[in-house]
Amino acid sequence: MLFQRDDSSPAALTPYARPPIDPPLWFRGRFAPVIGRALLAGAAGWLVAGALEHRGLPPAAPLIAALLAGGAVLAIGTARHYTARGIRVDSAGISSQPHRTWLGWDEVTMVRADVEEVRLKGGSRLVRYCSVQSADGRRIAFADLAPAGLGWVQTAGGRVIDLPSAGLLMAIVADRLDLRELFPPEWVSGTAPVDERSEPAPSPSARRDAANPWSLLKTIKISSVAIALPVMAVLLSWKAAVLLLAMIAIHELGHVQAMRSVGIRVRGVWLIPMVGGAAVSEGLARTRLANAYVQINGPVYGLGVGVGLAALYWATRNPLWAQAMAINGLINLFNLLPVMPLDGGRLLGEVANSLHRNLGRAAVGVSLVLGGVMVMVLGHPVVVVIVLVGAMEFARQLAAANRRSAVAVLPPDRPMRFETWQHFCRQVRPVWAGCESRAQTAAQRSEFEMLHVAGNLVPMRPWQTALVVGAYLGLAGVLVAMVVLGSRWGDGAQLL
């Protein structure tokens, strides 16, 4: 499709009157390749230092080499990602950072939504892309090339760069230039926007079901238990394996109960040997207070387990129960550390974002730095995995914040709903042999809703923030006391 003025003169398309875009919007490529290169560099550093360890290097040399190599590549890649790549949109126009091309909105003479066959090593593929052009030949082209596994493609008109938010960028271009030929049906007809945040609150029966013990137990995936239990029994003992998995499962069921009580759909609980567990949901709550409740309820359930173990110790005077209380306290204290994606790191993010959006990003960044310090001090592979997951969570939060800012520049009569987003995304994605399956559409809808909710969370009020911080500090203090007392009463017991 080709959209340009019918006038033969080089006059540009006239931008439609819109509010200013301040601050400017940035649409950047995917950060996953940067992380991938950093991991490869870290692995190479580990292997090289390990091969030279016999020449007198200290035992920690492989870990130090991996951190230095991976950290250097990550720092360089991050700097390039945020300074030398991306497309910038503001009230004056659109610019491409890689090629240093700038087009004012009043200079745009042509917008193409085209399909072109691109030759690749494994054959050829039809690629949809959007290009914005001026009369003097300046051109900015972009597409969402992730389904094809490409970072960029070379077309007849020039290079097309990959942007995960290409559909959203195309919507903003169409809105700014009032290109009605590109509009989805609901924009053309002026359909009233639907408030996607007005979901009904959980019913009283749903709240009762959320606390039903049998209903909670059914969320635990038996397949994960069948794998985790024998592995931990071999590494530890069957008694220790059963006890540790029970502690972890109860902790995760605390998250599940809170998720259900605030209306979050739960996929299930997975137990991972020697790592922990994960309560996987299908979304987020609509408020930061509800999400904070979800995060803190896991350690609260863990505290209940500690109280039960303390009661068993006082009833039997068996030091094994005291040592179990100490171990349970350590598990839950570890989860309260302010490191993403642990419960404490997520709580820190909810509190900081409620105080100020930029403070929230800074707090999550600091938590990742603390995670890096933990990696250097402990050097355990589990900690490395936790920090990597936290980095991916941070990237998702940044994407949600950027999407919220981009959607905010659209007028109320042109809402960004899932159908609208899908309409624009289909015009900048590769052409597949068949239609999208229901599973693909469901996955896209889930991704859209997750980013929508994450970018529009209702912050906590000051008194709610103080309540959450007080609950966090009080819970951590009680767990520390359990660890100290359990270690003292269980001195000499051999549980693990």
- 425-446 confidence digits (pLDDT tens): 888 887 754 455 566 677 677 7
| 143 & 290 share domain | no
Structural domains in the chain (count): 2
Domain assignment present for residue 315? The answer is yes
| 148 & 288 share domain | no
| 170 & 316 share domain | no
Domain assignment present for residue 62? The answer is yes
Is residue 161 within 8 Å of residue 78, measured between CB atoms? no
Q: What is the mean pLDDT of residues 8-12?
A: 45
Domain assignment present for residue 227? The answer is no
Domain assignment present for residue 171? The answer is yes
> For residue 458, which phi and psi values (nearest 5 degrees)?
-75, 120
Boundary residue ending a domain (185, 215, 234) = 185
Domain assignment present for residue 222? The answer is no
What confidence score (pLDDT) does residue 233 get? 85
Domain assignment present for residue 475? The answer is yes
Phi-psi bin for 35: left (phi > 0), alpha (psi -120 to 50), beta?
A: alpha
Residue 168 belongs to domain spanning = 2-185
What confidence score (pLDDT) does residue 34 get? 82
- Report the alpha-carbon distance of residue 114 to residue 185 in Å, rounded: 20
What confidence score (pLDDT) does residue 1 get? 52
Q: In sequence order, what are the beta bridge partners of 153?
A: 160
Q: What is the mean pLDDT of residues 242-266?
A: 90
User: Per residue in 344-396, pLDDT tens?
Assistant: 888 888 888 888 766 766 777 777 777 767 666 666 666 777 777 777 777 77
Is the pTM higher than 0.85? The answer reads no
What confidence score (pLDDT) does residue 192 get? 47
Boundary residue ending a domain (169, 185, 201) = 185
| 320 & 461 share domain | yes
% of the chain beyond a pLDDT of 70: 80
Query: H-type helices in 166-287, by residue range?
Result: 166-176, 185-189, 204-210, 213-217, 222-235, 238-261
What confidence score (pLDDT) does residue 378 get? 65
- Which residues touch 259 (CB under 8 Å, ≥6 apart)? 210, 265, 266, 279, 281, 285, 294
What confidence score (pLDDT) does residue 17 get? 62
pLDDT of 255 strictly over 70: yes
Domain assignment present for residue 402? The answer is yes
Domain assignment present for residue 247? The answer is no
> For residue 490, which phi and psi values (nearest 5 degrees)?
-100, 15
Boundary residue ending a domain (134, 153, 185) = 185
Q: How confident is the model at residue 480 (pLDDT cuts 50, 70, 90)?
A: very high
